[in-house]
Amino acid sequence: MDRCLMKNRTIPASLSLFALLSYDVYASEINMNPGLWHWTAVLNTPGMPMQLLPPTSYTTCITRADFVPKDSQLGQACETIDLITEGDTVSWNISCTRSVGVTKSQGSITYHGDTAEGVINIDLGGVLMNSNTTGKRLGPCKQ
């Protein structure tokens, strides 16, 4: 096999492995205690004078491998497109396929051990909303 071609395949694979290992190191440094978390989201629609929807709440298991809060009751197939950690803050872009279309969200959550807060911007097929979200750890995840 051509040495140049082999080199071009080895470098991207090495960089991918380095990025994956670096992600794990940064994820373990976030001040977040894994476990069952209770999340509350207050949804707002830009341009609307008042809040139309009541706050929503859900619980989900947050781990070092997946610390983006997602409501598992929605029955969505979600794909994380982008995930960045900086200090105790996790930022992401997620795309979820729903029966009525694709929902995209861009968010940022800052963890403080057993509590967290952040903002999530949501695009529901052209309807834009934002969510002020707070979270609190309840205890260990239920099996």
HEC assignment per residue over 17-63: HHHHHHHHHHHHHCCECCEEEEEEEEEECCCCCCCCCCCEEEEEEEC
Task: Give the CATH number of domain 31-139; options: 2.40.128, 2.60.40, 2.30.30, 3.30.1640.
Answer: 2.40.128
**54: pLDDT strictly greater than 90:** no
Identify the weakest region by mean pLDDT among 11-15, 88-92, 120-124: 11-15
Contacts of 83 (CB under 8 A, 6+ apart): 23, 68, 90, 91, 92
Q: Return the pLDDT at 15.
A: 26
Q: Would you say 138 and 40 are in contact if contact means Cβ atoms under 8 Å apart?
A: no
Instruction: Give the Cα separation of 92 and 107 in Å (integer).
Output: 6
Higher-pLDDT residue of 1 and 92 is 92
- What confidence category does residue 50 fall into, taking pLDDT thresholds of 50, 70 and 90? low
- Local structure of 131: helix, strand or coil: strand
Q: Return the pLDDT at 127.
A: 85
Higher-pLDDT residue of 78 and 86 is 86
Instruction: Give the Cα separation of 113 and 107 in Å (integer).
Output: 19
Query: Highest-confidence range of 1-5, 18-22, 41-45, by mean pLDDT?
Result: 41-45
- What confidence category does residue 13 fall into, taking pLDDT thresholds of 50, 70 and 90? very low
Q: Mean pLDDT over residues 57-81, rounded?
A: 77
Q: What is the DSSP letter of 100?
A: T
pTM: 0.71
Instruction: Give the Cα separation of 21 and 38 in Å (integer).
Output: 29
